C-alpha cells in the first residue's frame, strides 16, 4: 500500500465507552498494526459540551489500555498533529469555515429555530413530506445569500446569533468506494445545507471531522455503519476544500441475539454488559474480549478461533470484514473467557484473585493451598470471580446447604455418611489421600449394596454445602482430615 497508514479512533466523551465503540477502536488498531509503521491515533471529539460526561475521556483511555491497544498519538501521548481534543482546536475550525464563506461555498444563516420550524410546517402543508433547509428553501430564509451585505455585516458586528451552513448543490450524485461495501452513491437532493459552525461557535461533527482528518493526514476512516449516511456530507466538504478524502470503510452493526441493533436497552434485556467498564468491573479477561470482538464481523478465512492481539494484527484485513450485522453471542464470549483464564498459571490467578477476594471480605490461607484450590476449580468457571463462589467451601465452612441438592438427602443418608465417617476417621493424616478416600466410599456402598450416588451426593453436601463442584476426593484431601470430619459432624447434626 502506498503512503503511510494513519487511522483514528474518535469517540465523543458523552458516556462510557460502548462495546460497539471498542470494536471500532480494535479494528482501527488492527488495521494500523497490520501495516509497517501504521499509526493508531486517539482523537477526542468533545465539541458537544452540553453532553459531556465527567470521567468519560479517562474511561475511553483506560479501556483501550486495558485491552492492550497502545495509542501512538493522542491527548496524553502528544504528536505532531495536535491538539487531539477538538475543544482545543476551535480557532482551526473557525479559520476553515471562514475560508468556505469567502469562497462562496458556505454562508451565514441568521434564522431562528421558530423561523425554521415555520418554514418546514409551511412546506409540509404544501405537500413536501420532508422539508429541508436546502438549495431551494435557502432563497426564502434569512442568510448572507439573501440579505444585503451591509446588513450581514451589521448583524455580525452586533453579535447576532448565526450558524454557518454549507452550500450543498441541488442536483449532484455523490459517489465513493467503501472498502467494505464497495461502490456507494447518494443524491444531494436528499441532503440539507448542513450546519458547519453552531450558534455557540463550536463546529459540528461534520466540519471538525473533515478538517481534523485532513490536517492529521488520516489515510483510512474506519467507523460504524451508522455513520454511512454522513459520508456524502463529508465528501462534499472535501470537494469544497479541494482535498483528497481518505479511504472509507463502514463496519457492520453489532446485533442483539433477539434481533435489531444491540442498543443499551436491548443489551440490558439480554443480560449483556454494554459498556467496556462493565467488562472490567465484572473481571472478564481482556484477551478474551479482544479475541471475541475481532471475530464479531471479521474472520481470518479459516477455522481458527484463538489468536492473541499480536496475531490478530498480522491476520487482519478489511476485505474479510462482513457487510451484514454480527450477532453478539454472549455464550461465545464466555467460551473465550474460559480459554484465556485456563491458560494462566495458578500462581498468576492467585495473585489476581486476592484483591478481588479482599473486596468481598474473603480471606485465604497460604499461597500453596490457594493455588491447589484454583487448580481444582478453574476448569469449572467462566470468570475469575466465580472461583470465589464455586470454591467458597475451600475457604469457609458452609453455613447452609443447597436446597436443590438436599432433595438427594434421603432417610438412609445419615447412616451411610456416618459409616463413611467412621472409616476415614481411622486414617492417619498422611493417609488422607484422594485415592484412599474414594476407596473407602466404594467399600461402604458395596457393604450396603447401594448405588454410588446414594452416598456420593450426601457426602458432597456435608463437606461442601453444594450439589456440584470439583472432584470431591481431591477437594477433601486439600481440606484435610480435621476439617472434613468437623463438617460431616455438623451436617449429621443439622440434617439428621
- Which residues are known to be catalytic? 264
C-alpha cell at 18: 460502548
CB of 289 closer than 8 Å to CB of 328 = no
First CA to last CA distance, the chain: 77
CA distances from 219 to 27, 160, 203, 290 (A): 14, 39, 22, 24
Give the C-alpha separation, 429 to 443, whole Å: 20
Task: Report helix, strand or coil for 137.
Answer: helix
For the packed helices 472-479 and 481-495, what is the interaxial angle rounded to 10 degrees?
Answer: 110
Nearest to 414 by CA among 461, 358, 375: 461
Nearest to 65 by CA among 253, 239, 286: 286
How many Cα atoms occupy the beta-carbon half-sphere of 211 within 13 Å?
25
CB of 143 closer than 8 Å to CB of 109 = yes
- List strands edge to edge, sheet with 195-197: 106-109, 163-166, 195-197
Q: Is 159 left (phi over 0), alpha (psi -120 to 50) or beta?
A: left
Amino acid at each position: 500500500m502506498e503512503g503511510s497508514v494513519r487511522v483514528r479512533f474518535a469517540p465523543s466523551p458523552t458516556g462510557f465507552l460502548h462495546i460497539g465503540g471498542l470494536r471500532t477502536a480494535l479494528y482501527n488498531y488492527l488495521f494500523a498494526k497490520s501495516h509497517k509503521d501504521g499509526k493508531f491515533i486517539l482523537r477526542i471529539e468533545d465539541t458537544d459540551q452540553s453532553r459531556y460526561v465527567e470521567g468519560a475521556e479517562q474511561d475511553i483511555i483506560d479501556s483501550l489500555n486495558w485491552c492492550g491497544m497502545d495509542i501512538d498519538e493522542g491527548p496524553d501521548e502528544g504528536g505532531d498533529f495536535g491538539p487531539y481534543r477538538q475543544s482545543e482546536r476551535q480557532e482551526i475550525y473557525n479559520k476553515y469555515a471562514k475560508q468556505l464563506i469567502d469562497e462562496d461555498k458556505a454562508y451565514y444563516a441568521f434564522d431562528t429555530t421558530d423561523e425554521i420550524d415555520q418554514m418546514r410546517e409551511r412546506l409540509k402543508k404544501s405537500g413536501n413530506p420532508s422539508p429541508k433547509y436546502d438549495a431551494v428553501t435557502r432563497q426564502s430564509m434569512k442568510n448572507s445569500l439573501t440579505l444585503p451585505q451591509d446588513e450581514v455585516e451589521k448583524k455580525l458586528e452586533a453579535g447576532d446569533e448565526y450558524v454557518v451552513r454549507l452550500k450543498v448543490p441541488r442536483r449532484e450524485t455523490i459517489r465513493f468506494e467503501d472498502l467494505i461495501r464497495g461502490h456507494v452513491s447518494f443524491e444531494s437532493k436528499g441532503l440539507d445545507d448542513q450546519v458547519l459552525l453552531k450558534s455557540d461557535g463550536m463546529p459540528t461533527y461534520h466540519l471538525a471531522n473533515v478538517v481534523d482528518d485532513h490536517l492529521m493526514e488520516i489515510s483510512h476512516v474506519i467507523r460504524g455503519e451508522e455513520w454511512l449516511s454522513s459520508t456524502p456530507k463529508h465528501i462534499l466538504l472535501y470537494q469544497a476544500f479541494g482535498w483528497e478524502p481518505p479511504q472509507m470503510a463502514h463496519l457492520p452493526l453489532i446485533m442483539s441475539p433477539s434481533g435489531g441493533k444491540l442498543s443499551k436497552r436491548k443489551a440490558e434485556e439480554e443480560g449483556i454488559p454494554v459498556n467496556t467498564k462493565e467488562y472490567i468491573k465484572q473481571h472478564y479477561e481482556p484477551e478474551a474480549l479482544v479475541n471475541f470482538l475481532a471475530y464479531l464481523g471479521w474472520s481470518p478465512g479459516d477455522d481458527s478461533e484463538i489468536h492473541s492481539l499480536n496475531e490478530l494484527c498480522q491476520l487482519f484485513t478489511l476485505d474479510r470484514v462482513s457487510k451484514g450485522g454480527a450477532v453478539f453471542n454472549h455464550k461465545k464470549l464466555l467460551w473465550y473467557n474460559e480459554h484465556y483464564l485456563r491458560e494462566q498459571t495458578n500462581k498468576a490467578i492467585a495473585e489476581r484473585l486476592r484483591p478481588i477476594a479482599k473486596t468481598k471480605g474473603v480471606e485465604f490461607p497460604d499461597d500453596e493451598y490457594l493455588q491447589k484450590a484454583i487448580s481444582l476449580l478453574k476448569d469449572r468457571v467462566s470468570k475469575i470471580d466465580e472461583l470465589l463462589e464455586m470454591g467458597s467451601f475451600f475457604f469457609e465452612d458452609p453455613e447452609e446447604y443447597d436446597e436443590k441438592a438436599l432433595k438427594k438427602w434421603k432417610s438412609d443418608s445419615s447412616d451411610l455418611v456416618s459409616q463413611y465417617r467412621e472409616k476415614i476417621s481411622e486414617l492417619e493424616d498422611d493417609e488422607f489421600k484422594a485415592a484412599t478416600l474414594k476407596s473407602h466410599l466404594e467399600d461402604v456402598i458395596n457393604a450396603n449394596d447401594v448405588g454410588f450416588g446414594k452416598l456420593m451426593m450426601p457426602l458432597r453436601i456435608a463437606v461442601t454445602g453444594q450439589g456440584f463442584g470439583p472432584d470431591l476426593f481431591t477437594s477433601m484431601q486439600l481440606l484435610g482430615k480435621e476439617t472434613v470430619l468437623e463438617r460431616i459432624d455438623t451436617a449429621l447434626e443439622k440434617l439428621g
